[in-house]
Amino acid sequence: MATNPQPMFFLNLPVKDLGKATTFYEGLGYSKNTQFSDENASSMVISDTIVVMLLAEPFFKTFTTKGIADTSTSTEALLGLSAETREAVDTLVDKALATGGSEGNATQDHGFMYSRSFQDPDGHIWEIIWMNPENIEG
């Protein structure tokens, strides 16, 4: 019996300036998959199973009949991404702030769980989370 590969997650985000958004995500250490990138989109590889598709707003609009959320006045979603350590949380968020992102929500430190957040240049809020593996039931 063949095994199914791990499901992949593709997050499609509308962006106002594709070049600026691409540079921001590359600054976080993610690579651009040029096979699925062009003047309308940048395919940013987060991991083997997570890809963020940065789509220029006019191109993004071809995929939906709804309006695009104004992230300066509303939150469309909170995008959670795990980190291996508390230090990795700080490293990624600090990189985001140094690369053109802005502060997100307040830092949360519950001892067993630690998170910080940032907003990318288009206002998408990323929550970077570490949870102590000893506190996660298997």
Domain ranges, ordered by start, for the chain:
1-62, 76-138
Q: Which fold has domain 76-138?
A: 2,3-Dihydroxybiphenyl 1,2-Dioxygenase; domain 1 (3.10.180)
Extract the tokens encoding 30: 């993610």
- 0.85 exceeded by the pTM? yes
Q: Is the pLDDT of residue 118 over 80?
A: yes
Contacts of 8 (CB under 8 A, 6+ apart): 49, 50, 51
Q: What is the pLDDT of residue 53?
A: 98
Find tokens 């600090």 and name the residue.
94
CATH of domain 1-62: 3.10.180.10
Beta-carbon-side half-sphere exposure of residue 53 (alpha carbons within 13 Å): 17
Contacts of 90 (CB under 8 A, 6+ apart): 116
Contacts of 135 (CB under 8 A, 6+ apart): 112, 113
| DSSP tag of 58 | H
Q: What is the pLDDT of residues 56-97, one digit of tens each?
A: 999 999 999 999 999 999 999 999 999 999 999 999 999 999
